[in-house]
Structure formats: structure tokens, C-alpha cells
Amino acid sequence: MMTIVDNDKCDECGTCVSVCPANALVIGAGLTVSPKECTSCGICARVCPFGALSVRQ
């Protein structure tokens, strides 16, 4: 599994960054997910107000 960000939907609000227990999310030029850190827990996808994050099989 991996977590995917759709940067067309993301407005860089930072909500997902603050809740990620693995510190896998970074806002720079758009939001990036570090596959090495991400555990695919799905928390970020549940809190994003814009539906920009999804966990894929």
C-alpha cells in the first residue's frame, strides 16, 4: 500500500502534516509523502478537508 497526494486538490493547509504519526508528510512545493516513513495508516486521508489524500493498495 502507499499513500498518494493529489496536489491539484491540496491547498497546503497543513492538517495532515500535524496528525501524521510517522512524520511522513512535508509541505514544500506542494505536499509530498515519504514512502520510507509512511505506514499507510490512513489518518491523513481521513482528516484532509479536500480529499487530496488516498491510500492505495
11 closest CA partner among 55, 56, 49, 38 = 49
Q: Which residues bind ligand SF4 (CB under 6 A)?
A: 3, 5, 10-16, 20, 22, 24-25, 31, 33, 38-44, 48, 50, 52-53, 55
26 closest CA partner among 46, 47, 5 = 5
Q: How far is the CB of 12 from ligand SF4 (least distance, A)?
A: 5
For ligand SF4, give the closer residue by CB, 39 or 57. Answer: 39
For ligand SF4, give the closer residue by CB, 28 or 48. Answer: 48
